[in-house]
Structure 1
């Protein structure tokens, strides 16, 4: 079934408590998603700390599109399309570097790191220098950042980044407060995991509180972790719709019951005295609340997952192929915490890690299963009868309820049904 020529048909495929399997398997729907979601809305691209110095650059992506994030000599951050304006060759194949100019290897066209075409060999073949006008690198139309997190949008107008993030800004605020200097650093390097699954399988899973006790039981047992107990009907934690497709597993109620600084991280203040001391000096009385509450577990639609100690970035390549980019979070002024963050990330989502291997297996099993003709629908009705609204006006449910998944699909339906700008 293809709905690309009939946006109103999405309402038939996305119904209260269930979605149609073709949403994960139809190439025409995937092509429409790229236009309506990835190339029209705000998408997370990178962090300012990845281009910390003037002339730094790093290759990123927006969906299948390769993007070069640069910082020019004046300090401004740019998002440039990694495509020579001559014959479409990739300008950058190095993952990162420092240069004031980018040179295409095919015919030697050279561009400044703000995208301007500097020149090309044998210019008389084009009638001189004047032909350079309008031949700079393509660029992402709008670039904005929040707390150092850089987002891009190809749309010429529409909501601002702050409007898009809405209540999800709180996740970034909480994250930066875990640094004594109020700054996140993305400096640990990236791992890439490719799965044969639709990107929405990954998106839905990131704030799915129903699966951890089953899918991740082995790592919880080996690590003697109490995380599994946080995801049960007896847990005080909640699942939350933050609006605009952003979702959350809020574990703070359980951590507050425990009342132990760094309990969220599976350790104690006594084991990390330097970090705790620097936090108390920087934040005063507020430090105890920050140290008890810990890091957020929030999925920022459509592609950024803040997973307590890690960042995941979702990149769709095809209707049944997705890459997850993952890195350990690092915090300015917190070397003691950073070392443990990195070690735990390697153990959970590294090449020999347990956690992401579990999830990746589930994504691919889901994708193989959804191709079956019967049943056509996937059920997302868990907890519909017990949803409630919190004091901030957000719909919430039990930790294991499918509030986040329904929130994602409701937002998706709006985006895929609205008249294109």
Structure 2
């Protein structure tokens, strides 16, 4: 691993400002790969993507291609897609079901648990190499509520320490299923944008832009969503620490106390779902869950969940990022799931309205930060009114820059780490 240069990060990150080069400098991007993507916990995938024994799917951690597999005994594995012999990719199909992978270059064969099973002409090796030359394994893997995370560094905080209070938001997502589980089984759309990955991370819990950037779709759809992102609304933004944040619209939904308003509908239009939720959680708790809905949560550095869909961010270069997006599906809720698929296509599909707005802003910003003047980006909105809750989370107005300020604070701590 190349040793990154020593930088004075406090010269690039100030309390209310960040330097434009943080989005455009190729050397900084390479250093981020080593200190963030290849050292900390990164979301990889969900167990529902490999539901059957011997299922597999290709994923990424930074620029590293990872095979997420389920072996015949049901155990999940994260394997590097690189033959230890001459470095060839051993898996070329995006997903499938296979008990083993065979390198097409020299025929080495690996079980879906990563173990080397055999190779042609074994007499060419003085000793049996099968135990020592398996596929590389991601150093650490953790699964929380079906969400699979990997860390390429052997040492560091546990997954629970990394998630901290943000765990509750993943619990919240699953509670919206009458069976307590989500499914990611509808396939992913991929959107490539010419923008630095951090611009996307900042946007996901930015409550300042929706009324401006998405004004046209809110007007056409005659939606009341825009009013939730208003300085006078009760909605808040919250920083959980470790770069994680959320937009919490529950205070607004609780004013109306109407189940399924968060989804833009009413309980009587989803009778099967409502009945199952009441049976699973009881009348009172089901009512509370269906009023609150799913929040907008960003799990640093690459997992974003937004009410009806899930995004995974994949950096390609300093100025290119892929967004992988799929509809959330709640196990045991076919009537709700059908509508979630339809709304996902309308909002972030190939002709979707919301994602097109955001993608345009990402790319315009990437072009803008390459200009020389002004050098610094201002992130001070709301710094005078944020406050800390008893659990240590920091809360601000829904329109404030607070999530970005705390994101950069965490970013600096990671980049300064030895």
Q: TM-score, normalised to structure 1's length?
A: 0.97
Specify the alignment match of 2:318 in structure 1: 319
Residue 403 of structure 2 aligns with which residue?
Answer: 404
Q: CA offset at residue 131 of structure 1?
A: 2.9
Q: Distance in 2 between matches of 1:234 and 1:352?
A: 32
Q: Write the distance in 1 (CA, Å) between the matches of 2:251 and 2:232.
A: 12
Residue 77 of structure 1: aligned partner: 76
Alignment match, 1:231: 229
Report the 3-state secondary structure (helix = DSSP H, G, I; strand = E; otherwise coil) of the residue aligned with 2:129.
helix
SS of 2:268 mapped into structure 1: helix
Say which of 137, 140, 150 aligns to 2:138. 140
Offset from partner CA, 1:46-83 (integer Å, 9 cap, x none): 00111111111010110111100001111110000111
* 2:219 aligned residue: 221
Q: Which residue of 2 aligns with 1:290?
A: 289
Distance in 2, matches of 1:235 and 1:183, equals 31
The whole-number CA distance in structure 2 between the counterparts of 1:216 and 1:108 is 53
Runs of 5+ in structure 1 lacking a partner? none
**Partner residue, 1:185:** 183
Aligned length: 415
TM-fit CA distance, 1:393: 2.9
Partner residue, 1:360: 359
Q: Which residue of 2 aligns with 1:86?
A: 85
**2:320 matched to 1:340?**
no
Deviation by residue 1:223-259 (Cα, 9 ceiling, x = unmatched): 2111111111111000111111100101000000111
Q: Distance in 2 between matches of 1:418 and 1:30?
A: 16
Specify the alignment match of 2:306 in structure 1: 307
Q: Residue 218 of structure 2 aligns to a residue in which SS? A: helix
Shift of 1:390: 2.7
1:159-170 paired onto structure 2 within 5 Å? 159-170=157-168
Q: 2:238 aligns to what?
A: 240
Q: Distance in 2 between matches of 1:238 and 1:403?
A: 10
SS state of the match for residue 257, structure 1?
Answer: helix
Aligned position for 2:112: 113
Report the 3-state secondary structure (helix = DSSP H, G, I; strand = E; otherwise coil) of the residue aligned with 1:347. Answer: helix
Instruction: Give the distance between the partners of 2:350 and 2:90, measured in 1 at CA.
Output: 29
1:56 aligns with 2:44: no
With 387-396 and 409-418 compared, the bigger mean Cα shift is at 387-396
CA contact (8 A) 2:115 2:130 kept: no
Pairing partner for 1:212 from 210, 213, 232: 210
Number of the residue aligned with 1:153:
151
Q: Deviations over 1:173-216 (max 9, x none)?
A: 11111010101111010001011110001000000011111111
1:107-145 per-residue CA deviation (whole Å, 9 max, x = no partner) reads 221100010111112222334x61334211111000111
The 2-side partners of 1:61 and 1:67 are apart by 5
Report the Cα distance in structure 2 between the residues aligned to 1:31 and 1:123, rounded to whole angstroms. 40
Question: How far, CA to CA, are the matches of 2:331 and 2:245 in structure 1?
Answer: 27
- The equivalent of 1:6 in structure 2 is 6
In structure 2, stretches of 5+ residues that fail to align are none
Give the C-alpha shift of residue 391 in structure 1: 4.1
SS at match of 1:130: coil
* C-alpha distance in 2 between matches for 1:106 and 1:221: 56
- Which residue matches 2:373? 374
Superposition deviation, residue 392 in structure 1: 2.9
User: Which residue in the other structure is 2:31 paired with?
Assistant: 32
CA distance in 2, matches of 1:143, 1:393: 27
SS of match in other structure, 2:84: coil
